[in-house]
Amino acid sequence: MALSTSSVITLNINGEKRTLPVDHRTTLLDALREQLDLTGTKKGCDHGQCGACTVLLDGSRAVSCLQLVVAAEGREITTIEGVADGDRLHPVQQAFLDFDGYQCGYCTPGQICSAIAVIEEHAAGWPSAVTADIRPEAGAPALTAEEIRERMSGNLCRCGAYVSIVQAVAQAAETEARRTAGAAEGELTA
In the bound state with ligand FES, the residue whose beta carbon lies nearer, of 64 and 128, is: 64
Q: At closest approach, how far in Å is the CB of 123 from ligand FES?
A: 25
Under the criterion CB under 6 A, does residue 77 sit at the interface with ligand FES? no
Based on the shown chain and the rule CB under 6 A, indicate whether residue 97 belongs to the binding site for ligand FES: no
The count of residues interacting with ligand FES (CB under 6 A) is: 23
| 104 contributes a contact to ligand FES by CB under 6 A | yes
Residue 74 region, left (φ>0) first, then alpha (ψ -120 to 50), else beta? left
Query: Residue 158, interface with ligand FES (CB under 6 A)?
Result: yes
For ligand FES, the closer of residues 52 and 173 by Cβ is: 52
The values of phi and psi at residue 147, to 5°, are -60, -45
Residue 154 gets which letter from DSSP? T
Q: Which residue among 24, 48, 81, 120 contacts ligand FES (CB under 6 A)?
A: 48
Binding range to ligand FES, per CB under 6 A, among 44-52, 71-79, 91-99, 175-183: 44-52
Q: Could you write out the three-class secondary structure of 81-149?
A: HHCCECCECCHHHHHHHHCCCCCCCCCHHHHHHHHHHHHHHHHCCCCCCCCCCCCHHHCCCCCCHHHHH
Compute the distance between CA of residue 30 and CA of residue 7 in angstroms, rounded to an integer: 15
Q: Judged by CB under 6 A, which stretch of 17-25, 105-113, 120-128, 176-184 contacts ligand FES?
A: 105-113
Nearest to 38 by CA among 10, 63, 18: 18
Q: Which residues bind ligand FES (CB under 6 A)?
A: 43-46, 48-53, 63, 65, 102-108, 157-159, 161
